[in-house]
Amino acid sequence: MNEIKTIAVLGAGTMGNGIAHVAARSGYRVLLCDVAQNLLDRGIATIEKNLAREVSKAKITQRQAEEARAAIVPALDREALGGCDFAVEATTERLEVKAEIFRDLDRILRAEVILASNTSSISITKLGAQTSRPRQVIGMHFFNPVPVMQLVEVIRGLETSQETFETVQTLAVALGKTPVEVNDAAGFISNRVLMPMINEAVFAVMEGVATPEAVDKIFQLGMAHPMGPLALADFIGLDVCLDIMRVLEQGIGDPKYRPCPLLIRMVDAGWLGRKSGRGFYTYT
């Protein structure tokens, strides 16, 4: 396995720009790739804002922020990723979208390069099967906000090799994170436990048991969660929560994972949480 110097990050959204931020701040060169210039511009603007926030909190120096920013090169064309030593995909939580990207990365990147996915619930084994290198396909699941959260859930697919697993563990540590190993199953551990809790909180609101404010206060004050489940759902994105519930429902096949009708209705209405300005709360 060659030394990792340049990392390709696919997707400049919340998770992708967070991963690019952390990788650049940890001394890697980053090619940040997305399909439209406005998505790249928005991702880079978020990174600049978050680097400035870290400078203002004296977590990094102005010079380190400038070096990190300069290490991130935007790319609209996947062909530009050819020289990268590692790839992590952080795009839409849909199998068909990720499958197409994995097939393309398999064609473009050198045969020994690891292809990781930041998927929050989709099967790593299925993504591996899209490529000619399933031994080098692995899950590397970061948490939002990526610059702040300590965890990387590392998911082995059926064919993921020990060498790939160890490389990714070492990389996670080099990024300042703590890796935790899990096996490949719908939602892994984090979302298998977190999303049913959020979904149940939505059911409780739909049934009039309590207001969103009351539900969240119970979890903040009673269980010391930094955010209650509904504020967290808004933060993650209600569309992302719904997609994950559907993966759990289909993948595990137990009706207890059925998405709450209120969650479905809110997504249908375009109430996606913070990113759309409205979810269980409103945001200006």
By annotation, the residues acting in catalysis are 120, 141, 153, 191
Is 120 among the annotated ligand-binding positions?
Answer: yes
The whole-angstrom separation of Cα 252 and Cα 173 is 31
Is 67 among the annotated ligand-binding positions?
Answer: no
Strand pairing class (29-33; 151-156): unpaired
Residue of 60, 103, 129, 145 interacting with ligand 3HC (CB under 6 A):
145
Whole-number Cα distances in Å, 202 to 55, 120, 140: 38, 20, 28
- Residue (of 102, 106, 148) closest to 122 by Cα position: 102
* Three-class DSSP category at 154: strand
Q: How far is the CB of 283 from ligand 3HC (least distance, A)?
A: 14
The whole-angstrom separation of Cα 209 and Cα 53 is 39
Residue of 86, 102, 143, 280 interacting with ligand 3HC (CB under 6 A):
143
Residue of 91, 120, 136, 199 interacting with ligand 3HC (CB under 6 A):
120
Q: How distant is the alpha carbon of residue 222 from its chain centre?
A: 28
Count residues near ligand 3HC (CB under 6 A).
18
Given strand 151-156, what is the order of strands in its sheet? Answer: 72-75, 29-33, 6-10, 86-89, 114-117, 137-141, 151-156, 178-183
Q: How far is the CB of 91 from ligand 3HC (least distance, A)?
A: 13
Is 257 a binding residue for ligand 3HC by CB under 6 A? The answer is no
**What's the token pair of residue 148?**
């702040």
Is 164 a binding residue for ligand 3HC by CB under 6 A? The answer is no
The whole-angstrom separation of Cα 278 and Cα 131 is 39
Q: How many CA atoms lie within 13 A of 104 on its CB side?
A: 15
Query: Which residue of the chain is nearest ligand 3HC when measured via CB?
Result: 120
In terms of Cβ atoms closer than 10 Å to its own Cβ (0-12, 13-18, 19+), residue 50 is buried
The residue among 101 and 232 lying less far from ligand 3HC, judged by its C-beta, is 232
The residue among 57 and 63 lying less far from ligand 3HC, judged by its C-beta, is 57
Is 191 a binding residue for ligand 3HC by CB under 6 A? The answer is yes
Piece of the chain touching ligand 3HC by CB under 6 A; list 62-70, 139-147, 202-210, 212-220: 139-147
What mask, x for binding ligand 3HC by CB under 6 A, covers residues 30 to 59? --------------------x--xx--x--
Q: How far is the CB of 190 from ligand 3HC (least distance, A)?
A: 6
Residue of 208, 222, 226, 253 interacting with ligand 3HC (CB under 6 A):
226
Asked whether the beta carbons of 279 and 266 are under 8 A apart, the reply is yes
Q: Which residues are annotated as a binding site?
A: 11-16, 34, 93, 98, 120, 144, 275
The residue ranges that bind ligand 3HC (CB under 6 A) are 50, 53-54, 57, 120, 143-145, 147-149, 190-191, 226-227, 232, 236, 240
